[in-house]
């Protein structure tokens, strides 16, 4: 596959007068679509007997080099018998899931779900334990990546400072992880 587009070509690409977009091919199905609203990287391919187009990004946010890298990844998926659009969608979902399924976000969802049955003093106690002793160390971590030694380290840190509260914190953590398993945020409870 011989690349045909240069950085200069991309920079100077302009839409035609009228509403028809301009397609500038780079080779192997990769092309730059230029219209009045912008410059878009696309990959045209066939999968399962159907013609498809995969959006790879918008120039200049996605450079020519980056577009070619994304194009190569899509071609690799296609060679493996995987629809590049479906693979990209799965990657995007996994990335979103990875970043939104932090321990803090799952703990908040658990608290919102369970707290309707709690007394006011219990709510405050749970919030204080999480805010002071757990979230600073595990809050930003993806819940599905937290391992037992990490939880143990948080609990041992608490033992040194607050003693009796550690048992309650362990119970809270176990409940949060079990909620995470129940809601498919993580596969297991590392407290067990």
pTM above 0.75, yes or no: no
pLDDT computed for residue 148 by the predictor: 94
**pLDDT per residue as tens digits for the range 26-69:** 989 999 999 888 899 999 999 989 999 999 989 988 899 999 99
17-36 pLDDT, tens digit per residue, is 777 888 999 989 999 999 88
Stretch 165-170: mean pLDDT: 91
119-123 average pLDDT score: 94
Position 96 confidence tier, pLDDT thresholds 50, 70, 90: low
Q: How far is CA 85 from CA 90, 109, 131, in A?
A: 9, 31, 41
Domain boundary among 17, 51, 86: 86
CATH number at residue 157: 1.10.150.130
pLDDT of 77 higher than 80? yes
Long-range contacts of 38-42 (CB under 8 A, 24+ apart): 39/10, 39/13, 41/67, 41/70, 41/71
CATH number of the domain enclosing 74: 3.30.160.390
Helices 148-162 and 165-182 cross at an angle (nearest 10°) of 150
Q: How confident is the model at residue 90 (pLDDT cuts 50, 70, 90)?
A: confident
Does 76 reside within a domain?
yes
The single residue listed with the structure tokens 């990769």 is 30
CA distance 131 to 152: 17
Do 70 and 108 belong to one domain? Answer: no
Number of domain units in the chain: 2
Tell me, yes or no, whether 169 and 116 share the same domain. Answer: yes
């Amino acid at each position: 596959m011989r690349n045909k587009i240069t950085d200069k070509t991309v920079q100077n690409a302009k839409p035609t007068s009228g509403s028809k977009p301009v397609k500038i091919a780079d080779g192997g199905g990769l092309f730059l679509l230029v219209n009045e609203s912008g410059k878009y990287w696309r990959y045209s391919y066939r999968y399962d007997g159907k013609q498809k187009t995969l959006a790879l990004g918008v120039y200049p946010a996605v450079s020519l080099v980056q577009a070619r890298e994304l194009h190569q990844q899509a071609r690799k998926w296609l060679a493996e018998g995987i629809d590049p659009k479906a693979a990209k969608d799965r990657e995007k979902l996994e990335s979103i899931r990875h970043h939104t399924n932090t321990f803090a976000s799952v703990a908040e969802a658990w608290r919102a779900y369970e707290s309707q049955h709690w007394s006011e003093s219990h709510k405050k106690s749970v919030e204080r334990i999480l805010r002071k002793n757990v979230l600073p160390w595990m809050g930003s971590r993806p819940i599905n990546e937290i391992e037992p030694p990490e939880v143990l380290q948080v609990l041992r840190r608490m033992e040194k400072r607050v003693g009796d509260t550690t048992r309650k914190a362990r119970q809270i953590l176990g409940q949060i992880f079990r909620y995470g398993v129940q809601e498919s945020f993580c596969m297991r409870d590392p407290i067990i």
